[in-house]
């Protein structure tokens, strides 16, 4: 199978949609002439023209809101944010409008819109540019949230997100744009709301998503070298979240560590841990262990930032603390 970068996988998904569906268009800051802050849309302006590749003013509320209106009128906008931290200035539009419109109109109006945003820390951008607010939006009814950890998933999830008739946030781990992975030429989609068991095991379940899969996979390797067989789940989708898959795995391994690349408090994993203690306590040999980045604003200094970010050692410590493995 050919190997491509995650950035290229996203690009392929977007390009296909622009080619096959005239209702699809893109908006965002510097996605056209400049080529996109992370070069995902490089070359699109030339190929699809300014009517479909719209450079916007630095007005996140207005262009995200305009995406909602265009979607309500039957188009299929794809709106890019330069950083998921900048979605905060448009949160009113995302939550009060995009996610609520269908419900408060009694099902009359849908918002088939994709919101793309780079997420996560790791490249020394400091507190305002390193956050992971997919965790906040995963709580909001009326929308979906996905986050790929590799190029294969990035393409499959992007295809599904664009076809979906709801607002879908595609959180793109900024540290993974340059990650390589195998992507087949044959068409496939990845269903939103289904987790992926990326590694089968029998002793302990490790759950994460997005960039968090890196420390989890490293930890699983280290555990394997010690004879501990870890089962690894990649959520792929944070809303809806595939609790059934997590519970099924826990029933098999009787041990679980959930790992959030975002801050530990209030993240998606906090929710999963709470659900697990309700649904799987009788299967568990120990506490639901939860790992996340340290609960401070993201520091700039490289050493400090690395320390705040979850790594494989944090995961292994949780495995040891919770289950003595």
Partner 1 sequence: MASSTKSNSKTAKSSKNGKKSGTAGLDESVVTSKVDHLELFRQMFLIRQFEIACGENYSKGLIRGFLHLYIGQEATGVGAISTLREDDYVVSHYRDHGHALARGLDVNRSMAELFGRATGTSKGKGGSMHLFDAAKGFMGGHAIVAGQLPLAAGLALAQQYNKTDALTICFFGDGSTNQGIYHETMNLAAVWKLPVLFFLENNMYGMGSSIERVRAGGIDFYPGMATYGIPAAEVDGMDVLAVKEATEIAVERIRDGEGPQFIEAKTFRFSGHSLADGQKYRGQDEVKEWEERDPVATFPAQLIKRGLVTSDQIDEIKTEVNEAVAKAVEFAEQSPDPDLPEIYNDVLA
Is residue 25 close enough to count as binding partner 1 by CB under 8 A? yes
Candidate segments 3-11, 80-88, 138-146, 210-218, binder of partner 1 by CB under 8 A: 138-146
Q: How far is the CB of 96 from partner 1 (least distance, A)?
A: 5
Find the helix or strand (DSSP H, E) in which 274 lies: helix 268-279
Count of chain residues binding partner 1 (CB under 8 A): 43
Catalytic annotation present for 19: no
In terms of CB distance, is 102 or 214 closer to partner 1? 102
**Catalytic-labelled residue, pool 29, 60, 172, 231:** 60
Per the annotation, the verdict on 51 as an active-site residue is no
Cis link prior to 86 (omega < 30° from 0)?
A: no
Yes or no: say if 49 and 77 are a contact pair by the CB < 8 Å rule: no
Q: State the residue for tokens 């076809």.
A: 163
Q: Which is nearer to partner 1, 107 or 227 (CB)?
A: 107
Question: What minimum distance in Å lies between the beta carbon of 136 and partner 1?
Answer: 18
C-alpha distances out from residue 260 to 235, 242, 287, Å: 11, 15, 17
Q: Is residue 6 a contact partner of residue 154, using CB atoms and an 8 Å limit?
A: yes
Of 167 and 201, which has the nearer Cβ to partner 1?
Answer: 167
Residue (113 or 207) nearer to partner 1, CB: 113
Rounded to a whole number of angstroms, the minimum distance from the CB of residue 106 to partner 1 is 3
The HSE-up count of residue 185 (CA atoms within 13 Å, CB side) is: 2
Asked if 101 is part of the footprint of partner 1 (rule: CB under 8 A), the reply reads yes
Residue 75: which of 32, 17, 28 has the closest Cα?
A: 17
Site string for partner 1, 265-284 (x = CB under 8 A): --------------------
Question: 70, 235, 238, 241: which one contacts partner 1 (CB under 8 A)?
Answer: 70
Cα 257 from Cα 208, distance rounded (Å): 9
Token pair belonging to 163 = 């076809």
54 binds partner 1 (CB under 8 A): yes
Catalytic residue among 8, 29, 80, 129: 129
Strand, coil or helix: 263: strand
Asked if 170 contacts 138 with a C-beta cutoff of 8 angstroms, the reply is no
Instruction: Specify the pairing of strand 168-173 against strand 180-182.
Output: unpaired
Nearer to partner 1, 59 or 301 (CB): 59
CB 32 within 8 A of CB 41: yes
Instruction: Give strand pairing partners of 188.
Output: none
The least CB distance from residue 99 to partner 1, in Å, is: 9
Options 5, 37, 66, 224; binder of partner 1; rule CB under 8 A: 66
Active site amino acids = 60, 129
- Residues found near partner 1 in the complex (CB under 8 A): 25, 51, 54, 56-57, 59, 61-75, 77, 92-93, 96-97, 101-110, 112, 141-142, 144, 164-166
């Amino acid at each position: 199978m050919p190997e491509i970068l995650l950035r290229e996988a996203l690009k392929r998904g977007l390009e296909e949609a622009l080619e096959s569906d005239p209702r699809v268009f893109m908006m965002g800051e510097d996605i056209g002439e400049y080529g996109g802050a992370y070069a995902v849309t490089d070359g699109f302006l030339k190929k699809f023209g300014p009517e479909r590749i719209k450079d916007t003013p630095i007005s996140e509320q207005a262009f995200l809101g305009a995406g909602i209106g265009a979607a309500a009128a039957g188009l299929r906008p794809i709106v890019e944010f330069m950083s998921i931290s900048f979605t905060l200035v448009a949160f009113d539009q995302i939550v009060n409008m995009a996610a609520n419109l269908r419900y408060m109109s009694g099902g009359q109006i849908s918002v088939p819109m994709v919101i793309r945003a780079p997420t996560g820390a790791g490249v020394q951008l400091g507190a305002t540019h390193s956050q992971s607010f997919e965790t906040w939006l995963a709580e909001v009814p009326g929308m979906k949230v996905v986050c790929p950890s590799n190029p294969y998933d990035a393409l499959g999830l992007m295809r599904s997100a664009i076809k979906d008739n709801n607002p879908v946030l595609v959180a793109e781990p900024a540290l993974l744009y340059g990650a390589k992975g195998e992507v087949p030429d044959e068409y496939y989609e990845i269903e939103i709301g289904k987790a992926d068991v990326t590694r089968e095991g029998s002793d302990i379940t490790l759950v994460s998503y997005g960039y968090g899969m890196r420390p989890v996979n490293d930890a699983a390797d280290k555990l394997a070298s010690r004879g501990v067989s870890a089962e690894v789940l990649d959520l792929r989708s944070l809303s809806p979240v595939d609790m059934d898959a997590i519970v099924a795995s826990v029933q098999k391994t009787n041990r679980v560590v959930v790992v959030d690349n975002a801050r530990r408090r209030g993240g998606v994993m906090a929710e999963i841990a709470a659900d697990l203690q309700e649904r799987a306590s009788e299967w568990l040999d120990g506490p639901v262990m939860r790992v996340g980045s340290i609960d401070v604003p993201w520091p700039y200094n490289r050493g400090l930032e690395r320390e705040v970010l979850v790594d494989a050692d944090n995961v292994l410590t949780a495995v040891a603390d919770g289950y003595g493995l």
